[in-house]
Chains A and B, each alone.
Chain A
Amino acid sequence: MMTAASLAQSPASSSLLEVEGVGKRFGGFIALDGINLSVAPGERVGLIGPNGSGKSTLVNCICGTLHNETGTVRFDGHSLNKLESHERTYRGIARSFQLPRPFVTMSVADNLRVPLLYAVHTRRGRHLTIEEADARCIELANSVGLGAKINKSPKDLTQIEMRKLELARAMAADPKLLIADESMAGLSDSEVGEIVEMLIKLNESGITIIMIEHIMRAVMTFSQRLVVLVSGKKIADGKPDDVIRNPEVERAYLGQ
């Protein structure tokens, strides 16, 4: 089986993801205002900001759920601007959703099978055999501790299990870049620790990860680098310890 690590070997370009001057508005509301962001292969980046600061919009613009109006999103040296969401998934961007969005009429195994049958299938240009797919589903489910629930409906899962399914499904697409959008909201302290540990393990296997999070403890444990968005603008980008001492960041968080 091909490891995610081997996929993450990126070509000559020094950064995996390059966001250049990306802007997006909804009617009169400016959601993103010329964002620049560059993520190197293997990095663990935390993305924070108050509610409505444009974090989710940025994720949506990177993943293709929304299309940016200005600027360029580059991945592996190629512009993604004209690509649909699923094409970006083929290229190696996977995401989890803020509110888990499982396929509710399918079992856990089938949820994991979807990226295998589409993203992985298209990238490889050939079918996975049933056995290959089954084996990979089991492997993925085990890796997030859902092995025992593989034939259950998502409706029967607890909240943390739902979060885990969300991450496992994103991983099933064999991504180079994983964007975890508030994967820990509503979880208990120990559960948060569990997820952070999982994400760090994934990163160690070679996957670049951007984590959007409100839970500062998780962000500080996880991030090698911290990016702060406020009102659609990037106001800080650097080492986590430096960033949280940045007066502008303090103002943005405490001033409201």
Chain B
Amino acid sequence: MLLDLAAPDFPWIALSVAIPLFAALIAALSSALAPVVAMIAALLCLGAALWTAVLVTTHGAQEVAVGAWPPPLGIVLRADGLAVAMLITAGLVSIAAFAFARQAFSARTQTPETRSAYSFWPLGLCVLAGVNAAFVSNDLFNLYVALELTTIAAAALVAMSGSRAAFEAAIRYLMFALLGSLFYLLGVVLTYSTHGVLDIRLLAISAESGPSTIAAAALMSAGLMTKMALFPLHAWLPPAHSAAPAPASALLSALVVKPPFVILLRIWFEAMPELVTPTLAQAFGALGACGVLLGSILAMRQERLKLVVAYSTVAQLGYLVLVFPLAGGGGAQQPWAAGAWTGAIFLTLSHALAKGAMFLAAGAFVEARGNDRLDSLVGLAREMPISCFAFGLAAVSLMGLPPSGGFTGKYLLLTSSFASGQWWWGIVLVVGGLLSAVYLFGPLSLMFAREPALAVTPVSRARQSIALLLGLLSILLGLFSEAPYRLLQVDRPGAAAEGFT
């Protein structure tokens, strides 16, 4: 047989990069075909990712040596549970974003072709290709290129609306991101020069912690923290994510900030777990906690919905790095291993789905009211119940209320924090949840208010339902969390269960 699609070693994960890339190129050639091509590519990506999930859970982690050159000479793409889970999420969010974008960015409805209708699709597909590449790659330098691809396409999406604020936000985003890239690249350079390898797995074998390894890890982490907008390097995120058009915001907030976190996990948990000292882990946690508190407080003070949602991303990303102090914090009492690590990834996944839903719902509100000021939300619960429901479901997941993926993640992290006696991180988790309730129930209350009546431009039910489906998925992730849990355990790094010792 020429193509054995069911073979456990069929390079599906390579396709999840190549397909959106190819689609981006086609979309750049023909803007008439672009929306269809983008949708097909995203569906194929999701299909490939789901099928890989099946393969990976039955046969274990999958590796593709690109060009049949094994590392250290070549680059290896690796599908472990974490990578596949992220690929599935990326597929889902991009399908939703592309479906929502069809109306606003369709060349068919706009002749002659317009700037945004042309450029949205190739850029969106480049983002998808870039994040997928970052999820599956196991090569530090290749990850750099993948991050750059994502960053440039993402910054262009920020600038897409063509307003002055959008250009400023995009420039600011790029300045931070490029600085982050430089730090990351410097770290990669030191790593290669010290160990002679770039492959994360090989690095794990050869890494002994000399001063250059420590410096490399620190520099790479600084770069990645900038790109994932971790406190205190978060200032670029809210203007950027709120300036973009809704489907682009969904891609940015749901996907673009995730690869840096995944790489951070891979570097510390897979490549250099022995470098993490308790002080370092607590320091990571402290940054995360500051991000949670500051992001939430700033989110409360915003008067525009998209800014609220964007600041909430800053807060939510803070939770993720709590994995560093909490990893391995479980006892014999817990029937699961690697609670904190799995919990952080659950939060990552559910944040992606929920934030995607929230930005798409916000996009629908903007279309209906013409702006995203909070006081324009009044009365929308009656006029646009579907979008409001989507926003509500996403809010439930972000607040970490049950049943939702956010709750599963928070429960696991919380258990680890109590089990390891680090109750202060537990307080951060609980208080963070309460703060998010404050800034998310505010907009929801306004939607239920009846006075004053405002003008509304109708938004089709089908398009509103897209956000609803994403929101529903973030809930279902918590209700049916066993399968995702099992997937994430495939080839989980040792440090995830044992902690850093």
Are these two chains actual partners, yes or no? no
B residues contacting A by CB (< 8 A) are: none
A residues contacting B by CB (< 8 A) are: none
